[in-house]
Chain A
Amino acid sequence: MAKAHVKMTVNGKEVESLVEPRTLLIHYLREHLNLTGPHIGCDTTHCGACTIDMDGKSVKSCTVFTVQAEGASITTIEGMANPDGSLHALQEGFRIMHGLQCGFCTPGMIMRAHRLLQEIPNPSEDQIRFGIAGNLCRCTGYQNIVKAIQYAAAKLRGETFAEAAE
């Protein structure tokens, strides 16, 4: 099969490649661009560990062909830290609120929460839980993930989140 030429912006950098059309975006990110932050968890569109941001949408990159991302602007967890290297509010929130144990789901959780907070800067707990329903965590029971997102939402609004981690 003829390879396809793709060009997109990933974490602010333009990338161009020849790929087999069947190459899934998660494989392209991990194996061609060496961005191993997005994880392959279930590989069946359930777990959300592969979530990235594509043109303002949270997308499961195991369920998108690279060729569909032609011309897209993509952000992965590698593109989240601030330019000076300090952590993004969400990364900081997950650290301070213990929003992870094994950490496998965290890149997907953060990328999904990133888009959620763009759309709803001050979400209720219910909105957070509904908003991250496509991301599975098998360690935490979600309590501290919700708090991590609340922490980040408050910080991004210039406020302080008063609660402590569970």
Chain B
Amino acid sequence: MIPGPFSYHRPKSISEATGLLADLGEQSRVLAGGQSLIPMMKLRLAAPEHLIDIGAIAELKGVQRKGSTLVIGATTTQHELQQSKVATDAAPILLEASLLIADPQVRYVGTLGGNVANGDPGNDMPAVMMCLDATYRLTGSGGSRSVKARDFYQGTYVTALKPGEIVTAIEMPVPPAGHGWAYEKLKRKIGDYATAAAGAVLTVSRGKVATCTIALSNLSDTAVLATDAAKAVIGTALEKPAVEAAMKAARAVMSPASDTRGTSDYRIHVGGIMVERALKKAFSRAKG
């Protein structure tokens, strides 16, 4: 399959990239790792006239810890993220979720920024970013702004990203030492998008859940923060009724389509089980 023709641009800096994006307008698309966009272009579901390849912009790469904040450049690949001890020590859920994305070859090239900016509900990192309360740095030719992951997703392939803007960095508060985490993903085979997936990040104090966030992948038209499900377990030691209440509350915010991965009812059923597993695993990993 051969994509439609386009003009190729390879800027060397963020300002050059945003300048190109402003000049070339809506017929242009940003190319990061290309592991979602290139397949779409091959199927001619995307046919941009201009591709702005941000892969050669050095300032978009790398992981840094600044005090209690983790800052990850947008074109950091999944593989680089997995190799970054700074990132995976601070927030091990990044490693757990990243290893469940696609396959090794895709992870060498696919980027964190692409995964969060794409807007496909099947992407895994948006839910993880919601759990961690991450913030996306969006840069256009007029300057930069920050949008929380929890406010970024508006619908399938619809996000808060405005024309002319690029996700340049992902920032997140480092979770407290001793926190528990888990990302549970049910998929038909390695490399598949989730039939249902759930992430959980929590802290435990005196044997009980003190804080908790839960988010879901591919169970609605965007990643979803399951706020009521998290509330249901706070103050508990994950006794059966608390877990069941969390599963019920999480299922209430799921609205997956029936597709080749299963009927809507089935995906909601297993979605609840992913929440249960993520909570139990996160709780078992927490110290406190």
Interface residues of chain A, those whose CB is within 8 Å of chain B, are: 1-2, 4, 20-22, 24, 27, 43-46, 48, 51, 57-60, 63-65, 67-68, 70, 112, 116, 130-134
Given A57-B109, A59-B109, A22-B104 contact (CB < 8 Å): no
Interface of B is mostly: mixed
B4 within 8 A of A: yes
Q: Are A21 and B34 in contact (CB under 8 A)?
A: no
* Contact residues in A for B3 (Cβ distance below 8 Å): 22, 24
Given A45-B39, A65-B34, A67-B53, A1-B6 contact (CB < 8 Å): yes
Q: Are A63 and B191 in contact (CB under 8 A)?
A: no
**CA of A44 to CA of B79 in the docked complex: distance in angstroms?**
21
Q: How many residues of B contact A (CB 8 A)?
A: 30
Q: Are A24 and B2 in contact (CB under 8 A)?
A: yes
Q: Are B104 and A64 in contact (CB under 8 A)?
A: no
Q: Are B6 and A58 in contact (CB under 8 A)?
A: no
Given contacts A21-B7, A44-B1, A44-B42, 6 further A-B contacts (CB under 8 A): A20-B5, A22-B4, A27-B2, A58-B104, A130-B190, A134-B190
B229 within 8 A of A: no
Out of B2, B39, B104, which one reaches A44, CB within 8 Å? B39
* Contact residues in B for A27 (Cβ distance below 8 Å): 2
**CA of A43 to CA of B34 in the docked complex: distance in angstroms?**
14
* Contact residues in B for A24 (Cβ distance below 8 Å): 2-3, 38, 42
- Can you list 25 A-B pairs with a CB-CB distance of less than 8 A? A1-B7, A4-B8, A22-B5, A22-B41, A24-B38, A27-B2, A43-B1, A44-B39, A44-B42, A45-B35, A51-B105, A57-B109, A58-B108, A60-B106, A63-B34, A63-B38, A64-B109, A65-B31, A68-B31, A68-B34, A70-B10, A116-B104, A131-B104, A133-B104, A134-B102
